[in-house]
Amino acid sequence: MFDWDGTVMDSISKIVNCIRHSVLALNIEPPSDTAIKNIIGLSLEHAIKVLFPSYPEHHQALVADYKHQYSIDTTATPLFDDVSTVLSALKQHRMILAIATGKGRGGLERLLEQSQLRKFFSASLTSSEAESKPSPDMLYQLLEELGVSADEALMIGDTKIDMAMAKAAGMDRLGVTMGVNNAEELNTFTPVATVDNFQQLQHILIG
């Protein structure tokens, strides 16, 4: 089960830019880049509440403006190197692949089409259909849909939020360091491994 932002797609800079721009019209001091990175993985609504606890009256406007900014921001969001090749190899080894993301359903559907990665995934769940990470609800729903038990599954993600979600679900987890958190931070959640790229991920999973 793959996270998306910072795990499959290099979208961290775009998310940071869009959060920072979404506050300009409201004359709110933008959070630091580190603070923004630390909410990546949460649902958008939850993330806004965490970032702007003193401005509840602006939360709806911030959510709406973030979505607008994301639609017009031109920051590149490439897939990480070798994503398609490695996903193909995993499928050839009869692994069931799924997505567990804090993105909304509309955003994920658009990116699955643009990236041409839809064919690799048997299921996906977003914050539109499940409780926000780090609740294990998203993983529980995917396990049930796929007919897989927690001890047969692996969560792959770049954030401590992903690791905490998997740990709460009783699932093994594997950290990737291309996104938000580094290996030392991810290792506090005892993943089976941390990797720096998709080639290393393939080596860990299928040799």
Residue 6 domain flag: no
Strand partners, 173: 155
Same-domain pairing of 65 and 155 = no
The token pair that represents 142 in the structure block: 């995917």
For residue 103, the domain's CATH number is 3.40.50.1000
Q: pLDDT tens track of the chain, all 207 residues?
A: 999 999 999 999 999 999 999 998 788 989 999 999 999 999 999 999 999 999 999 999 999 999 999 999 999 999 999 999 999 999 999 999 999 999 999 999 999 999 999 999 999 999 999 999 999 999 999 999 999 999 999 999 999 999 999 999 999 999 999 999 999 999 999 999 999 999 999 999 997
For residue 54, the domain's CATH number is 1.10.150
pTM given for the model: 0.93
List, as one string, the DSSP characters of 104-126.
-HHHHHHHHHHHT-GGG-SEEE-
What's the total number of domains in the chain?
2
- Its domain, for residue 31, covers 12-72
The token pair that represents 107 in the structure block: 């955003």
Same-domain pairing of 63 and 103 = no
Same-domain pairing of 90 and 175 = yes
Same-domain pairing of 41 and 64 = yes
Same-domain pairing of 41 and 125 = no
Under DSSP, the state recorded for 152 is G
Asked which of 52, 72, 92 is the last residue of a domain, the reply is: 72
